[in-house]
Structure formats: C-alpha cells, structure tokens
C-alpha cells in the first residue's frame, strides 16, 4: 500500500471525525443548535468560533469579555452586535463577543462574502470549528480545516437520510446473500479467491454506506431516533462479517490483522478496490488468472454460529486445525484432546457443524 495514500486516508479520517463531532454539537435538540436557529429566524447573521487557542491570540481582536455559561438566548443577543462570538470547544461557555478575526489573507478561499471568507480562513489556520450564518440566505455553513458543509433543512435532511437507509438495507441484503453463498462453498471445500474478494468487497461497500447513514443520524439529532434504532437492528445482523478477514488472511497476528483491515478500508476509500487488490491485501501473491483457485477458510465465522460456543474454545479449535475442512473431518475423540473441550462439548460442536452443513447445503441447492 502506497505510504502517501495511507497518509491521505488517515488525514481524511481524522478530519471526518472532527466533522462528526461538530454535527453532534450542532444537531437539533442541542443548546448550540437552538441558539443558531434563533439567529437564523431573526435574520441577523453571525460568525461563531468554538475555541480560543493561546498560541494564536493574534488572530483574535476581542471586543468584550463575556465569560458566562452558554445559553441559546445569550448567543442570539450577542449576534446582534458587530463582530463574531467566541465560545469554548465544548459549547458550554461564551468567552468573547464583538470579536474581529484576522486570519492570514495568504490562505486561499473560494468564498465571496466577507463573513464566510473569514470563517473559511480561520478554520484552515486554527483547525477549530467555525460557523458562519448568512444574514440574507438564512443558511448555516460550518468549516473545519479544509472541509466546508452547509446544514440542510429538516425535511430535505430526512428525505436524504431515508434514501441512504434504503440503500444500506439493499446492500445489507446483498451481503447476506453473498455470505450465505460463501458458507455453502466453505462446506463444499470449493471456496475460491474470487468468492472471498467478492464478499469482502460487498462488506466494505456496506460499511461506507453505514457511515453515511450514521452521519445523517448525527445531523438529525433528536429527529433521528427512529432511524438510529432501524440502523442498529440492521447492523446487528451483519456482525459475522468481522470474521471474514480472520478466516482468509495469511496471518492471524492481531497487529497484522489490524493493518490488513486498515489497508482494505484505504483501498475502498481511494477507489482502488478490486478483487485482486483485496486478495493481495490479505497477504496472497496471486495473479488475475489465479483468482479462481481454491482457498481454505479457518472456520471462525462458521464456528461463531454454533450456540453457546465460547470465543476461547473457537480460538483453540482454529489454532489446532487451522482449516474448516479438517475440523469437519475431526472425530469426537480428537476434539476432546483440545484444551477446554470435554465429551459433551465435543458432541455439541460435532452436531452443530453437521447441522449447519446440512442447512447450508440444502439451501445451497436452491442458489
């Protein structure tokens, strides 16, 4: 994986996390959002910065020191004055009012209005969350580093969120179908690199859509409670996807697995994701022609489906056999030799695997 690409991905994720934190502070139901709504309704406009960095005091020309607990009404009243408002990063205290900001004019800005140009440059120079409220257009624009985002009206936001949720549910259904097909191939010992790559690809795409839905939920605040419950119910059904990497990566070392997961997220983010790049990220040296070659599953995902089977026992089983095919061929006597497995548990494992195999192969005949 290219080092520069990894760095760009890491920086993008860090900025995105700051953006998510900002949406939480500005979501409907919060004190800060209530104050901003008052300003929008009054049509006064405003410029608000969350934070006052000691090492960048020269950028702030303070008009009045306020130093009071935050309230929506206080924010609204201060917005009637010239200059901007400085509050702390937690949005719990108002620090200064009637403040003028002096960011470097060398910082590029695509904005045309004075207020928004200052807001964009301050965000880039300080890394703080800056909020610009348009007086004429009644729009709220937030700036964080190089990111610019205009808050949407609630009806528009709800519509987009519902569309994103429908997309997520469609992706989830396709992933579940693909996971089922993969299970059939695993029990038949016919899994190929192509099968693995296709399944992981669907999982990565689902994860991207999931993050999009979560962003909408944060922006909706108290209005997104039902959507949040709906997403949580859907996510719980796809937890088995977490075992995919462990089943097919060439390593089982925790730190290496984390690197692989990060690299998979990176190639998905940068648009470099294809079946060959996924398999190479898992640690295999294969060509496009070899994607139809067979590859064995360790069995983590299948074993996780057996009820009342503790994770340490699953670890011991995989460590002993390192192959689902070999595990399926193990006798009860052989299973009892593994630490933590007695005759009762060995029988449960054997019967559980056989039951799953019968279920998948029977249903697989219909696929």
Residue 224 is given by DSSP the state: G
pLDDT at position 362 over 90: no
Pairing of strands 84-87, 46-50: parallel
Assess contact for 97 and 120: CB atoms under 8 A: no
Choose among 55, 43, 59, 48: nearest CA to 25: 48
- Paired tokens of 297: 């599953």
pLDDT value of position 237: 53
pLDDT value of position 129: 96
| The domain made up of 3-151 is a member of CATH 3.40.630.10 | no
pLDDT value of position 47: 97
The string of pLDDT tens digits covering residues 124-148 is 999 999 999 998 888 999 999 999 9
Pairing of strands 93-101, 147-150: unpaired
Q: Rounded to the nearest 10 degrees, how much is the dihedral formed by the CA atoms of 133, 153, 224, 222?
A: 50
Helix (H/G/I), strand (E/B), else coil: 109: coil
pLDDT value of position 367: 47
Rounded mean pLDDT, 336-353: 95
Rounded mean pLDDT, 16-33: 91
Rounded mean pLDDT, 175-192: 93
Assess contact for 105 and 98: CB atoms under 8 A: no
The string of pLDDT tens digits covering residues 213-257 is 999 999 999 999 999 998 888 776 556 667 899 999 999 898 999
Residue 93 makes CB contacts below 8 A (sequence gap 6+) with 67, 68, 69, 70, 87
pLDDT value of position 366: 52
Pairing of strands 129-133, 93-101: unpaired
pLDDT value of position 236: 60
pLDDT at position 280 over 70: yes
Q: Please give the C-alpha separations between residue 241 and each of 70, 188, 255, 264, in angstroms, as whole numbers.
A: 44, 20, 19, 14
Q: Please give the C-alpha separations between residue 33 and each of 36, 221, 260, in angstroms, as whole numbers.
A: 5, 10, 40
What CATH number does the domain located at 298-367 have?
Answer: 1.10.150.20
pLDDT, the chain, mean: 91
Q: Give the residue with greater pLDDT, 362 vs 327.
A: 327
CATH 1.10.150.20: which residues of the chain?
298-367
CATH 3.40.1700.10: which residues of the chain?
3-151
pLDDT at position 278 over 50: yes
């Amino acid at each position: 994986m290219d080092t520069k690409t990894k760095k760009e991905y890491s920086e993008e994720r860090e900025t995105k996390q700051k953006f998510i934190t900002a949406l939480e502070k500005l979501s409907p139901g919060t004190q800060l959002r209530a104050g901003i709504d008052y300003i929008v309704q009054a049509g006064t406009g405003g410029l608000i910065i969350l934070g006052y960095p000691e090492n960048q005091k020269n950028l702030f020309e303070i008009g009045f020191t306020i130093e009071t607990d935050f309230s929506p009404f206080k924010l609204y009243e201060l917005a009637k004055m010239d200059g901007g408002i400085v509050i702390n990063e937690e949005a719990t205290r108002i620090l200064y009012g009637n403040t003028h900001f002096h960011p470097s004019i060398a910082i590029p800005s695509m904005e045309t209005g004075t207020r928004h140009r200052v807001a964009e440059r301050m965000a880039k120079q300080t890394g703080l969350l800056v909020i610009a409220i348009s007086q004429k257009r009644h729009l709220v624009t937030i700036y964080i580093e190089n990111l610019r985002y205009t808050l949407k009206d609630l009806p528009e936001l709800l519509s987009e969120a519902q569309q994103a949720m429908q997309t997520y549910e469609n992706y989830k259904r396709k992933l579940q179908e693909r996971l089922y097909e993969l299970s059939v191939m695993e029990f038949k010992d016919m899994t190929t690199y192509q099968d693995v790559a296709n399944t992981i690809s669907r999982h990565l795409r689902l994860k991207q859509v999931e993050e999009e839905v979560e962003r909408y939920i944060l922006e909706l605040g108290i209005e997104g409670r039902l959507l949040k419950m709906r997403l949580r119910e859907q996510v719980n059904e796809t937890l088995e996807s977490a075992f995919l990497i462990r089943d097919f990566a060439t390593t089982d070392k925790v730190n290496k697995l984390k690197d692989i997961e990060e690299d998979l997220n990176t190639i998905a983010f940068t648009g470099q994701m294809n079946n060959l790049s996924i398999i190479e990220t898992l640690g295999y040296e294969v060509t496009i022609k070899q994607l139809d070659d067979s590859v064995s599953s360790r069995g983590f995902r299948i074993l996780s489906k057996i009820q009342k089977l503790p994770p340490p026992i699953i670890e011991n089983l995989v460590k002993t056999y390192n192959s689902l095919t070999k595990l399926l061929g193990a006798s009860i006597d052989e299973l009892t030799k593994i630490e933590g497995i007695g005759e009762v548990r060995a029988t449960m494992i054997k019967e559980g695997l056989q039951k799953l195999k019968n279920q998948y192969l029977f249903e697989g005949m219909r696929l």
